[in-house]
Chains A and B, each alone.
Chain A
Amino acid sequence: MSHRLTAFVTDRRAVSSTVTYALTVAVTTVLVSGLVIAAGGAVSDQRERAVRDELGVVGERLAAELEAADRLVADEDAELRLRTTHPDRLAGTGYSVALVASAPGPCDRFPCLALNASDPDASVTVPLATETAVRSTRVPGGDVAVVYESDNETLALEGVA
């Protein structure tokens, strides 16, 4: 009996296959998990960067359109409504556009445009160079109308339904 027990304990047959299998599973799990986590992080980083880049692009374009409107109405008795076309969502997230006339605000110089996305959290500011005064307004991202309010001689933003 004791001879059998000793033989069983000291028997090393089939151990190699089992250990190899266990190691393979473990290494594969670690490797795949690492790759998935890294890829997920990369996607998240790239999405945030993409949102910030696109906020910048939309902000610069809207600034150019605001300044073009400003050139048309500067020093003149004018009425103007300029409908601008921009993406509703940037990399899958919604955003808002704020026209900020003066401090306090997120910009270094005023007037400016402040674009914000919440998921991922990103914001971009674009300074404006307008002769015409602006009125602080906030609209959802997407198609936006630049309007000249002749009553108070200011430029403002309006959402386009």
Chain B
Amino acid sequence: MVSDRVRRTASDDRGQLLLVGAVVLAIAIVSLVVILNTVLYTQNVTNRAALDSTADAAEIERTVVGEVPALVERANRNATYGSETAAADAVDRTLARYGALVGTAVTNRRPASVGVAVAGDPSVALVVAHDNVTRNFTDRDRDPEWTVVDGASVQRYRLRIDADSLASTDADAFRMTVGPDGDDWTMRVHRNGSDRVDVDRVDGGGSTCTVSPDDGTVELDVENGTADVDADRDSVGVDCTFAFAPGVDPPYRLGYANATNATGTYRLVLDGTSATAGDVDTSAPWESPYRSYAVDALAVTVTYATPELDYRTTTNRTIADP
């Protein structure tokens, strides 16, 4: 009886090899499954938060940098500023407010903090403007022949003149003179017949551009040298693009003559603030013509922060139409 048990126990050992083998194989198969799963996990369950953050930051930066010039233009024109500091502060406040709005919009869709601010001191330009459409281009004391700015270098200069207000003869024509001391370059604007206007440049050779204002207004972009022209009615061969004050080196004096014979608006933006404005209004209530200041270039800092990304960039922007 005892020997039977001993024999049976000894014969049971035969299964151990198979059991051990089966266990080892099972472990190997499970290991394979785990290893293959780690590959699938790494390949598919990837964390894209870092990439998403960079894409969002780039989008925000592109948007902000694209919209800043328009905001600065609006801030420049929304008010008249008595000093460079006042103009710079107005742009500063505008961008801070804009940054807060952008930040709120971004926060609504992802946990990000956005900031927009002016970096350092912006570049400020002196502006002489006239926006009373019923008043002629005389100075504050209604003098028709006056120095608008002295020691100046024009950055941007646009006029809109009511064609009906213009004289019909060369002698009485509204004149703009540019030169170190006098009139090295002159532009005359006067009517030519009932529905045409001549823009004459006198700079040695001289040339005339005849424009046909559809809406009764002559638009001149003096610094860029263009006058609005109805292509169908333009005189053949007349060049209505021109160079502003060729051969006259800045700083120069820019003045008006026969200013009673021109009504409309103008905005003259100079390089820097060193020029001296003529007899214009320099404080409230800012009757035309008046002096103001405008930001024409600035550095904008955009900050973007998420748990993954801290990003700060400073971009220089020039305002095309300050």
Contact = CB atoms under 8 A, between A and B. Distances in A.
Interface of A: 21, 24-25, 28-29, 32, 35-36, 39-40, 42-43, 46-47, 50, 53-54, 57-58, 61, 64-65, 68-69, 71-73, 76-85, 87, 90-91
Given A71-B58, A76-B315, A87 B50 contact: no
Contact of A83 (B50, B51, B61): B50
Contacts of A72: 54, 57-58, 61, 311, 313
B312 to A, nearest CB: 4
Interface in B51-86: 51, 53-55, 57-58, 61
Nearest to A33: B21
Given A36-B21, A39-B28, A80 B38 contact: no
B313 A77 contact: yes
Nearest to A61: B46
A21 B13 CA distance: 12
A17 to B, nearest CB: 11
A28 B17 contact: yes
Given A40-B28, A54-B39, A90-B42, 7 more contacts: A25-B14, A28-B17, A35-B25, A57-B39, A64-B51, A71-B58, A82-B308
Nearest to A55: B42
Interface of B: 14, 17-18, 20-21, 24-25, 28-29, 31-32, 35-36, 38-39, 42-43, 46-47, 49-51, 53-55, 57-58, 61, 307-315
A85 B52 CA distance: 13
24 contacts: A24-B14, A28-B18, A28-B21, A35-B25, A36-B21, A39-B24, A43-B32, A47-B35, A50-B38, A50-B39, A53-B39, A65-B51, A68-B55, A69-B54, A71-B54, A71-B58, A72-B311, A72-B313, A78-B312, A78-B313, A81-B309, A82-B50, A82-B308, A84-B47
A78 B314 contact: yes
Contacts of A91: 35, 38-39
B144 to A, nearest CB: 50
Contact of B35 (A39, A46, A71): A46
A80 B17 CA distance: 62
Nearest to A83: B308
A70 B57 CA distance: 13
Contacts, number: 114
A35 B22 CA distance: 9
B88 to A, nearest CB: 20
Given A79-B311, A85-B49, A54 B32 contact: no
Contacts of A53: 39, 42-43
B31 A43 contact: yes
B200 to A, nearest CB: 46
Contact of B38 (A25, A54, A77): A54
B25 A50 contact: no
B54 A36 contact: no
B25 A39 contact: yes
A24 B51 CA distance: 61
